[in-house]
Amino acid sequence: MLCKDALIKNPLTTKPDKTVEHVLKEMQKAGAVCVPVLDAQNIVIGLFSINILLEETLPVALAVGPDDARINVTIPSAPGITKRLQKLMNTPVSDVMRRAFQTVGQDSPLESAIRAVCGQGAPVIVANPSDNSFLGMITDETLLAALKKAA
């Protein structure tokens, strides 16, 4: 089996200059939980999801003290979370997206997509090996469906 057997060919995508609010509305309309962010050359430069957005609303631990004796202090954030979320709504999605993601070719063995999902999580980006252009993505659900179909 090959990665193309689990490929979603035309998933919802977005551009880096779109606001978080705009992308969330598009995701809701499409029923998408994660969208690839594509540059002008149709190359994936990041991923955006509700999970990634929620991580951005959490407080950050502050490191206090010299390098050899650091103490991490997390600042309580109850009112801060909603304020951060509201501020993020007008932010370009490129400021919030996750830049680390797994890429496979459509003719790669399906096992490479399974390993990528198990290692870093879904989705896995499927790109053209010759120019790295976006072809689609693989989710854990499409992997399972492809495996069931082959059984």
> 31 in a domain, yes or no?
yes
Establish if 69 belongs to a structural domain: no
In a domain, residue 64? The reply is: no
Q: Which residues contact 65 (CB under 8 A, 6 or more apart)?
A: 71
Residue 74 lies in a domain: no
**Segments of the chain with pLDDT less than 50:** none
Total domains in the chain come to 1
What's the whole-model pTM score? 0.84
Rg of the chain over Cα atoms, rounded to whole angstroms, equals 18
Tokens for 108, please give them.
């790669």
Residue 66 lies in a domain: no
**Domain CATH for 42:** 3.10.580.10
Provide the domain limits for residue 85: 3-58+79-150
CA angle 42/46/52 to nearest 5° reads 145
- The 3-class SS string of the chain reads CEHHHHCECCCCCECCCCEHHHHHHHHHHHCCCEEEEECCCCCEEEEEEHHHHHHHHCCCEEEECCHHHCEEEECCCHHHHHHHHHHHCCCEHHHCCECCCCEECCCCEHHHHHHHHHHHCCCEEEECCCCCCEEEEECHHHHHHHHHHHC
Q: Average pLDDT of the chain? A: 89
In a domain, 33, yes or no: yes
Question: Token pair 């309309």 is at which residue?
Answer: 29
* pLDDT given for residue 109 in this prediction: 97
Q: Mind listing the pLDDT tens digit for each residue in 33-71?
A: 999 999 999 999 999 999 999 988 877 665 556 665 556
What's the pLDDT at 63? 57
